[in-house]
Structure 1
Amino acid sequence: MHIVVAGLNYRTAPVSIREKFAFAQGELPLALQELKSTKCVMECVIVGTCNRTELYVAVDTQNMCAHHLRTFIEKWFKVPKEQFSEHLYIYENQAAINHLFRVTSGLDSMILGETQILGQVRDAFFLAQEHKTTGVLFNTLFKQAVTMAKRAHTDTGINENPVSVSYAAVELGKRIFGSYENKKVLIIGAGKMSELTAKHLTASGANKVTVVNRTLGRAQELAERFRGVASTMDKLMLHLEEADIVISSTGSTGYVLTAEMVSSVLQRRRSRPLFMIDIAVPRDLDPRLGDMPNVYLYDIDNLQSIVSAHLEERQKAAVKIEEMIQAEIVAFEQWSKTLGIAPVIQALQAKASAIHEETMDSLMNKLPELDERELKVIRKLTKSIVNQMLRDPIVRIKEMAAERNGDEAVDLFAKIFALEEQLEGQKRAEQEQRQREAEAAQERMKDELLAKVRSSNAPSEAWAKA
């Protein structure tokens, strides 16, 4: 099998493009099943963050794989290929494996060495496992990538200096205002990014923090942790009137604040400057806000220019991690080569077993006078002969498979022992099994979607019956 990754990230696409390709959290299970059913895809994992959307797939053939992935993206997001092809990167095999290790360890992040991406990749892998879109190859690769990233962070200390998107947002505000003392900070959203932002704000001296969220309970939980005030979205405009700094990070699919909404508030603020940072993808804050008087708007792409103070040490640590990654790639490739030999060994053992059984049947027909004990002894001895004959060839082909031209050695081994028919039968059986699993998964998804629809319609149906 071949490993391929296709994606867009902050380097290849601005936020205005990336936000069109953000998977809604509730859609990921269905997206995984849809991707798994794509032609040539055997295993898959989807990694989606504010800075990247990536499709990791294991395919049985590289031919047309890039085309199939582009078609999946086009159909799922309903965006023509022409609008995203120039922003899309596709890496194959060793380049794809190297990319995954760099992403997981934080070397491909906007903030070099940030650790949040490790948890996001791990969660994406667990979700794929839960919905049975991974197999032996990705189960090993992603576990290895996560384990290596943890060790890299510990051994190099690359994440010791607090540099992250939320940290950069807070640093940007500090540069503009000098200090957060007596400044009223409004945080919109109460998720992980908001929590990190609140943490950095309080560490920087902010003591007037208001957290606004759709769910009051979550807002209260976050606000209490940092001695702030909690509120709900219906009071957002009231808090906006008093705020000096607004940092927004919600999961909304549309703008939380539009230019029209803020326009009336600005009149009551009497020319007081309003500093706004949007760290959400898709964006929470209408880009037109940046054109309004006394409003200073920054989105997630603007934060790249903030990170500088701790980058030098992180870059030194990154060199060490790159060396660790190369060693991990070698180890994975050696393992994957031996994995490829498994079907050939199984085919050889199956063929030898069939020949042994045919021989025993022939022996019993020619010597019907043999009793059960004699047959048992003969069966055991002849089976031992077969196993001893196979032992050395199996050991040697395992060794050869891990070498540079391992694929050629495996093909030659299969031809020498005439295993083509057995291998083809195995391949057909695996394809049939995958087809059954895909159909079962689609049925489960249909049932889940139907259950959700029925659940959402339950109140209206009950009202109609009443």
Structure 2
Amino acid sequence: MEIFSTGFNYKTAPVEIREKLAITESNYQSILEKLNSLDNVYEICVISTCNRVEFYGVFDGDESLKYEILKVLSQYSSIPINILEKHVFFYTGRDAIRHIFRVSSSLDSMVIGEPQIVCQFKESFSLAKEYKAVRHILTRLFDKALNVSKKIRTSTGISKKAVSISYAAALLARKIFGDLKDKSVLVIGAGEMAELAAKHLSSMGVKHIFVSNRTFERAVELAEKVNGSAIRFDKILEFLPEVDIVIVSTGATQPILKKEDIKKAVKNKREPLFIIDISVPRNVEDDVNKIEGVYLYNIDDLKSIVNSNIEERKIEAQRAELIVEDEVEKFIKWLNTQKVNPLITQIRDYADQLREKQLERLFKQIPYLTEKEKENIDLAFRSLINKLLHRPTMYIKDKASKEGNDLYIKIIEEMFSSKWDLRNKKQEKESVRED
């Protein structure tokens, strides 16, 4: 069995591909079950965020799995397999483990050090666990990944001066206008990213923040947090002439702001309108950019801003990468020791069979023993076996944890193979003679 990680992220696939692949809460179970039912998959977990749709799991080592996963995703997204193949990555073994640790530690995020990925990572694992798609190895892997993330955040400065896509959106607004104190903002959405954007803009001193959401109560809650005003979702277009900046971050799967609607709404607006769409799938039609005086930015446009704000984290990120490499090695060693568990079980089973035979013979010779005395003798035998097997067990695990020691394991496997049981061979020969 081997660990794999595969999928699409902001490095490998443009937003047009990612938004079609985005897995929502409503279809998560269906996708997970289809992937988990593939013949060569033993465990699997799905993580879907605005910047990535990735799959982590345990498989039998047959790399045809990549094609099988692409078939499922092609049916789901209606994107031809040959297009998906151009943008998919597929890692196995050490590379897969390293990638998973880097993702959980936000070293692979568009904004290095952003904290949201930890929550998304935990939620993805919880869902996979709920649907019984993860077991021993992935549980251990995810626990380790979260420990690595915590270790990096506490021992490096990677998460200092926090930046995120939401913060990058706020920075873009400030870059466009300079001073924001006389600017009004409309935030559409009341989720985590929308809330972060609103809070960042509030801290930058914007004149006023309007918040709109399909669930009006949530808009009211967020508006209160940033001393803003909540507006009804069906009144958004009426408010566009009143604001300078629109931040869009909702879970809608179709555009909620369309070219013709916006064009009518801002027909008499004198000042320019800047719309920053940080939703995936995108919530604003591309053609909106063609409207005079309206400027549209999407999540991929934020990359340059993000890159300019992570320079000071690069040194800390290098330290974090060293931690990742160290933890990858530790996990590889643990994983290798798991491969010899059946061998250790085989040896212990063999010892138990001998113990049972010897006890049976002994108890026949001294039938007057009480049950308590028999139990004490059995415990003494078990203790002796455990002490005798402790050192060989540690030796086997040590050899398994290091690469290039396959020969040692094979010798031990053969040593405890039934073909070396000379008594059985003798009995087999005698049986042949009688026939």
- State if a TM-score over 0.5 links the two structures: yes
Q: 2:324 matched to 1:305?
A: no
Query: Residue 11 of structure 1 aligns to which amino acid in structure 2?
Result: K
In 2, are the aligned partners of 1:161 and 1:310 still within 8 Å (CA)?
Answer: no
Paired position in structure 2 for 1:319: 318
1:407–1:48 CA distance, 2 compared to 1 (3 A): farther
Query: Residue 305 of structure 1 aligns to which amino acid in structure 2?
Result: S
Paired position in structure 2 for 1:134: 134
Query: Residue 240 of structure 2 aligns to which amino acid in structure 1?
Result: L
In 2, are the aligned partners of 1:211 and 1:230 still within 8 Å (CA)?
Answer: yes
Paired position in structure 2 for 1:72: 72
In 2, are the aligned partners of 1:347 and 1:419 still within 8 Å (CA)?
Answer: no
Query: Residue 368 of structure 2 aligns to which amino acid in structure 1?
Result: D
Query: Residue 370 of structure 1 aligns to which amino acid in structure 2?
Result: P
Distance in 2, Cα, partners of 1:412 & 1:44: 34
**Equivalent runs, 1:260-271 vs 2, <5 Å:** 260-269=260-269, 271=270
Distance in 2, Cα, partners of 1:150 & 1:383: 41
Distance in 2, Cα, partners of 1:380 & 1:255: 71
TM-score, scaled to structure 2? 0.89
Distance in 1, Cα, partners of 2:410 & 2:205: 66
TM-score, scaled to structure 1? 0.84
Paired position in structure 2 for 1:433: none
Q: 2:339 matched to 1:340?
A: yes
1:310–1:369 CA distance, 2 compared to 1 (3 A): closer
Paired position in structure 2 for 1:458: none
Q: 2:276 matched to 1:277?
A: yes
Cα shift at 1:309: 4.7
1:175–1:384 CA distance, 2 compared to 1 (3 A): closer
Paired position in structure 2 for 1:390: 389
Deviations 1:372-395 (A, max 9, x none): 448667656655665455343223
Paired position in structure 2 for 1:462: none
Query: Residue 284 of structure 1 aligns to which amino acid in structure 2?
Result: N
Distance in 2, Cα, partners of 1:382 & 1:147: 40
Paired position in structure 2 for 1:158: 158
1:184–1:415 CA distance, 2 compared to 1 (3 A): same
Q: What's the secondary structure of 2:266's corresponding residue? A: helix
1:340–1:239 CA distance, 2 compared to 1 (3 A): same
Cα shift at 1:16: 0.9
Bigger Cα displacement from structure 2, 400-409 vs 3-12: 400-409
Paired position in structure 2 for 1:208: 208
Q: What's the secondary structure of 1:306's corresponding residue? A: helix
1:371 is aligned, of 368, 371, 393, to: 368
In 1, are the aligned partners of 2:6 and 2:55 still within 8 Å (CA)?
Answer: yes
Cα shift at 1:303: 0.4
Distance in 1, Cα, partners of 2:144 & 2:374: 49
Q: What's the secondary structure of 1:84's corresponding residue? A: helix
Distance in 2, Cα, partners of 1:380 & 1:221: 65
Q: What's the secondary structure of 1:197's corresponding residue? A: helix
Query: Residue 154 of structure 2 aligns to which amino acid in structure 1?
Result: T
In 1, are the aligned partners of 2:70 and 2:84 still within 8 Å (CA)?
Answer: no
Cα shift at 1:320: 0.5
- Which 4+ runs in 1 deviate beyond 6 A? none
Distance in 2, Cα, partners of 1:332 & 1:416: 28
Distance in 2, Cα, partners of 1:256 & 1:78: 22
Cα shift at 1:76: 3.2
Paired position in structure 2 for 1:413: 412
Paired position in structure 2 for 1:117: 117
Paired position in structure 2 for 1:11: 11
Q: What's the secondary structure of 1:139's corresponding residue? A: helix
Distance in 2, Cα, partners of 1:407 & 1:43: 25
Cα shift at 1:396: 1.7
1:49–1:384 CA distance, 2 compared to 1 (3 A): closer
Kindly tell me the number of residue pairs found equivalent between the two proteins. 417
Paired position in structure 1 for 2:53: 53
Q: 2:356 matched to 1:357?
A: yes
**Equivalent runs, 1:225-264 vs 2, <5 Å:** 225-264=225-264
In 1, are the aligned partners of 2:113 and 2:162 still within 8 Å (CA)?
Answer: no
1:163–1:66 CA distance, 2 compared to 1 (3 A): same
Deviations 1:310-337 (A, max 9, x none): 4221001101001111111111112222
Cα shift at 1:63: 4.4
Distance in 2, Cα, partners of 1:98 & 1:163: 23
Distance in 2, Cα, partners of 1:417 & 1:99: 38
Mark the runs of 5 or more structure 2 residues left unpaired by the alignment: 420-435
1:384–1:114 CA distance, 2 compared to 1 (3 A): closer
**What is the root-mean-square deviation of aligned Cα atoms in Å?**
2.2
Bigger Cα displacement from structure 2, 174-183 vs 242-251: 174-183
Q: What's the secondary structure of 2:306's corresponding residue? A: coil
Q: 2:36 matched to 1:36?
A: yes
